Structure formats: structure tokens, C-alpha cells
Structure 1
Amino acid sequence: MRMPTEPIIFLLHDNPSAALATHSQALPGYPFASTLPFVPDSAHCPVFLISGLAEHTRNLRADARASLLLQPADTAEPEASPRLTLLGDVAACAADPALVARYLRYQPGAERYLALGDFAFYRLQPRRLRMVAGFGQMGWVEAQDWAELAVLSPDDEAALLARVKPGHEVLGIDCYGIDWRRDGRRQRLAFEHALDAGAIAERLSAQGVID
């Protein structure tokens, strides 16, 4: 069954942390699972800020293959709730200013880790994704399908963020929705379908978010 991508993107943007499974170097042949925060980049790929001393970092340096599991934490029936597994390769990525700014908007507490100098950014590039939307609703998304998702460039996002009115704490904007923090909680406003920069500006202006 081929899954629609919009619910997958919503789940990716709605979860601040996930379970990462790497190949254990301490006990070869066994998976090593850990929980860590992440931020989706402009191309909807999970980005981590991790220490060189962490067990999962040592594992990834030896074997880049990994799996990431996302599932809402506040659910009474985990087996009936939506969940997403991404299988792919994790590699270090450059800490360019746009990526750092985006990461800190979503994860402001990470600023103290950046100051330590031992932490670096890593990105998971999906090869396949397995989405379970509910009982009997499941399917795969291939890397090619993921690569064809609509992407809002960092420059276009920065231009929109510069127009955000005071009182709105916007974390990130993409072609499929907007992430913000309201009353101390992270929330996502999903669009019905992918929008380009002009259409996003019109939508956010109608919502009173930007000038």
C-alpha cells in the first residue's frame, strides 16, 4: 500500500524527539536504541545535534545505517496510534547559519550544547519509510518519492520569518505547514496540500501571522 506523504510529514514535524537505533560497536550484531531530540530540515530530513562521546555517535561513525522511530507519546493505545519508521544513512552535516538558527528555534535548550564544542550536527537521509497510520493502514514510501517532496528554500523561509508579527513564536515554515509554539506547547498548522512561497505568504497573512 502506497501511503500519502502529508500525514508522514505531519508526524515528522509534530514530534520533538524519537528513538534512534544504530549498530552496536560494543556488542556487534545487536541494535542499540537511544532517545534523542531532532529537528526536520528544509528537505524534511531529521537532523540531530549529538556528542562525539555518545554511544550512538560512535556507532554511526562505524556504520552509518540507522533507523528512527517516531510515535506520539501521549496516546492511550500505542498499537492504534500513527507511527513512522525511517531507515537510512546518517552522516555529519555542516553547521551552516540557517541550519543552526532553525535547530535552535525548535530546540532552544541545545544552545548550551553548541557552546561545549563536542557536539556536531548529523542528518538522516531516508532510504525507505514505513508508516503505520492505524490498524490495517500501513505502507512504504521510497527514497525517490521522498526526494520529490516540495521544499521551501531556507532563503524563502527566512524571508517569511522576517515578516512574522510580534506575539507569534514561529519555529519553522515549510511547503506543507507551519510549526509554532503556543502557550508553551509546540503545535503544527498543516496545509491541505503543498504550497509555494507566495501561497504560503497569502495563507499566513490571512491567519494574521505575517504582515
Structure 2
Amino acid sequence: MSDNKITPIRPTDDTARALARDLMAGARIAALGVTDPDHGGPHVSRIALHCSAAAGCLTLISDLAYHARGLRADPRVSLLIDETGGKGDPLTHPRLTLRAQAQKVTDGAERAALRALWLRHVPKAKLYIDFTDFHFIRFHPLSGLLNAGFGKAYELDKKDLTLAPGRGDRFSD
């Protein structure tokens, strides 16, 4: 028996980094994985997501949402971002899983700036954004796993996931 492990992970290159950053910058939704505080297992929800150099990766979450309990209990999260768009075989489309640390935005001035940016891109949020139970949550990516299509997997670290201004940055004007 050999000690050599066969791994599906390819060496991370600039093409993989660019694809991961493009997926992040183009994301409008993601699957958010948190630890269920009642059962200790995973809980996954669909969230609105925006990632940009100007704003970082963030979402707007109500305290009433079940996944908000998970975030309060344990800020370690996973985000799944993809661009399948419902066409073709989803296993052939790129997808990115981010391991991240969630942090509630508490600074009033920062929240006001994010509010204006968010409403520019999610105008229907005007209906609920000012409810007292809604808060911006920033996700700080720690690492990631990119599946760039069948047989193309890459491990990414924090620096690979840093967005530069202009990369599809919907929050810059």
C-alpha cells in the first residue's frame, strides 16, 4: 500500500483565482451554512449576497430568521456561490464554497453607507431595511474551495479571495 495520496485538487493558479473572484463579485444570492444551535448540525438558508472591494461580502438578515440564531451562537459560516442559472448539468458549472467569519455591522455611520449602497442594488429592500430587526452581516472569507467544473478543483486561501476594485464591483460608483 502506497502512502501517496491521490488528490483531485489542482495547484491554484491565476485563472482559478480570477474565476473565484468573478463568482464572488457577480453573486446576488448564496447558500449560507451555519451551525444549528439546537442540534449542533448544519443548517442552510438562501440569502441575498453582495461581494465587492468597496463593501466586502455582506448580506442583510433579520433577527427573526432561523439562521440568525446560528450566526449569534457561532460566527463560523460557509457560503456556497454558483452560477448555474438553472441551465444544463449543474455539476459542470463553477461553484465556490467560502469558509468565513460572520460579523454584525454595528457602527451607525457604516450601516448608513451600506444602506445606501444596498438600496441602490436591491431597491425592494426599502420595504424592510429600516426595521429594527434587520442588520448587515459582513462575511470575512478565510479560505475557499473552487470547483471550476468537472475535474477542476482548487483550494484557495484568504489572499486568493480578496476583491480588487473594478472586478464587477456593483457597489462602486
TM-score exceeds 0.5: yes
- Give CA-to-partner distance per residue, 1:112-147, whole Å, 9 cap, x none: 221222100001101101111111211011113335
Which residue of 2 is the match for residue 46 of structure 1?
A: 57
TM-superposed CA distance for 1:33, in Å, is: 0.3
Which residue of 2 is the match for residue 111 of structure 1?
A: 126
Change (3 A) 1:69 1:44: farther
Matched, 1:25 2:68: no
Matched, 1:10 2:1: no
Q: Structure 1 unaligned runs (5+)?
A: 151-173, 181-196, 198-209
Output the CA distance in 1 between the equivalents of 2:18 and 2:126.
Answer: 31
Deviates more, 1:56-65 or 1:138-147: 138-147
Partners of 2:102 and 2:140 within 8 A in 1: yes
Which residue of 2 is the match for residue 203 of structure 1?
A: none
Q: How many residues align?
A: 157
Quick one: which amino acid aligns to residue 40 of structure 1?
C
Name the structure, 1 or 2, with higher relative contact order (CA <8 Å, separation 6+): 2
Partners of 1:48 and 1:122 within 8 A in 2: yes
Structure 1 counterpart SS, 2:43: strand
Structure 2 counterpart SS, 1:134: coil
Matched, 1:102 2:129: no
TM-score normalised by length of structure 1: 0.67
Change (3 A) 1:85 1:134: same
**Percent of aligned pairs with the same amino acid:** 31
- Give CA-to-partner distance per residue, 1:155-209, whole Å, 9 cap, x none: xxxxxxxxxxxxxxxxxxx3323549xxxxxxxxxxxxxxxx9xxxxxxxxxxxx
Partners of 2:27 and 2:51 within 8 A in 1: no
TM-superposed CA distance for 1:98, in Å, is: 2.7
TM-score normalised by length of structure 2: 0.81
Which residue of 2 is the match for residue 55 of structure 1?
A: 66
The equivalent position to 1:144 in structure 2, one of 159, 163, 166, is 159
Q: Structure 2 unaligned runs (5+)?
A: 1-10
Q: Which runs of 4+ in 1 moved over 4 A?
A: none
Matched, 1:70 2:81: yes
CA RMSD of aligned residues (A): 2.3
TM-superposed CA distance for 1:48, in Å, is: 0.9
TM-superposed CA distance for 1:13, in Å, is: 2.3
TM-superposed CA distance for 1:14, in Å, is: 2.1
Partners of 1:49 and 1:120 within 8 A in 2: yes
Which residue of 2 is the match for residue 126 of structure 1?
A: 141
Partners of 1:20 and 1:66 within 8 A in 2: yes
Deviates more, 1:31-40 or 1:91-100: 91-100
Change (3 A) 1:54 1:3: farther
